[in-house]
Amino acid sequence: MANIKKIQQAISEEGLSALWLYDELDRLYASGFLTSDGAVLILRNKAYFITDSRYIEAAEEQVKDAEVILCTNENRETDILKRLLSENGISELGAQDGSLSYSEYLRMQEALGVKFVPAQHITKTLREVKERFEVESMTTAQRIAEKAFDHVLGMLSPGMTEKEVAAELEYQMTKNGAEGLAFETICVAGANTSRPHGVPTFSKLKTGDFITMDFGCKINGYCSDMTRTVALGSVSDEMCRVYETVLEAQLAGEKAARAGIIGRDMDKAARDVIERAGYGEYFGHGLGHSVGLLIHEGPNASPRENRPLPAGAVVTCEPGIYMPGKFGVRIEDMLHITENGSENLTKAPKNLIIL
């Protein structure tokens, strides 16, 4: 699905006459078509999608609202851009200052013979508010991840390695329709669960372990993100207390989520629960982040976020308690922010599961 019309409206409102999209995900956002290379040039009333022979046939079929132009060794992307800018009388061009290297910024400004205006914020801001199609894509990705999770719950047993569990989650997501992974799957067990972003190892699951799985996949380029911590065989009283505290914090964060809340206030709603229970020092990361074409987008639900969450954002709510050398727990859902609250895109149960 293309967002070219939305971008055209935004550049008009900014008083810009043209925007050159360089960033791969922004090009996908605009055109609905993923390419590893190429350019999208958006004017107020027309748009161009420049690509090479690897993509041209599919692009001509799939790209709407933009003229598809083939670049070749004889007719290079820079030459095409230069010609289009000159034909349309563009002297100031919105450029992606946040994606281009400094040298590329200077080189292209010189080559195109226009003045660059920093314009990364245009797509960044638009991408924060998801259209129905975007939320549906993320929901589909989430359902696939949940199917994989269900399957893996039926397999977890002492002796399996963290790597095997992670590989199985990835295999099941792919088998159930994922386009790709949203990020490297995390599966940590036992003492490793105190590492929020630990890397799966060949260490084996044991009875009495917590197992934390953080994983997601992509549909139409849009990511899903979920985390569950489950126990194998039995839990100690302390493990149970920590789990219940994280769950209570997760529900408090979810309850606080609504359009207009400042990111740090949503974080605080959950953090207060953990602090009151005496585990404040063991919750070192922010409560959540936005998700979209990128797994970590803004705005965040973190102590440093001063911006309000807009209606239409999809934000994770993922508190955790991590006690070094002992164990950790994290529970993560994806919330679609609405005017009066949020819609939880995650349907997997989050009561403590002891397998």
Residues that bind Mn ion (CB under 5 A): 225, 316
Question: Measured in whole angstroms, how far is the alpha carbon of residue 146 from the centre of its chain?
Answer: 17
Per the document, the length of the chain is 355
Provide the residue type at 23 as one letter. D
DSSP state string for 51-80: E-TTTHHHHHHH--SSEEEE--SSS-HHHH
Nearer to Mn ion, 105 or 183 (CB): 183
What is the distance between the alpha carbons of residues 279 and 131, in angstroms, rounded to a whole number?
Answer: 38
E strands, the chain, are 18-21, 39-43, 47-51, 67-70, 92-95, 115-118, 180-181, 186-189, 210-215, 217-219, 222-223, 226-231, 288-290, 297-301, 314-317, 320-323, 327-330, 333-337, 342-344
Closer CB to Mn ion, residue 123 or residue 346?
Answer: 346
* Pairing status of strand 222-223 against strand 226-231: unpaired
Of the pair 170, 225, the CB lying nearest Mn ion is at 225
CB of 252 to Mn ion, least distance (A): 18
Q: Judging by DSSP bridges, how do beta strands 115-118 and 92-95 pair with one another?
A: parallel
Query: Which one-letter amino acid corresponds to residue 262?
Result: I
CA angle 70, 72, 78 (to 5 degrees): 85
Smallest separation (angstroms) from Mn ion to the CB of 225: 4
DSSP state of 354: B
Minimum CB distance to Mn ion, residue 175 (Å) = 23
And the tokens for 188?
């940590």
Minimum distance from residue 289 beta carbon to Mn ion (Å)? 6
Eight-state DSSP code of residue 216? -
Residue 45 CB, shortest distance to Mn ion, in Å, is: 39
CB of 186 to Mn ion, least distance (A): 10
Residue 14 beta carbon to Mn ion: minimum distance, rounded to whole angstroms: 31
112: left (phi over 0), alpha (psi -120 to 50) or beta: alpha
Which class for 240: exposed (0-12), middle (13-18), buried (19 or more C-beta within 10 A)?
Answer: middle
C-beta of 288: minimal distance to Mn ion in Å? Answer: 7
Closer CB to Mn ion, residue 316 or residue 342?
316
* Residue of closest CB approach to Mn ion: 225
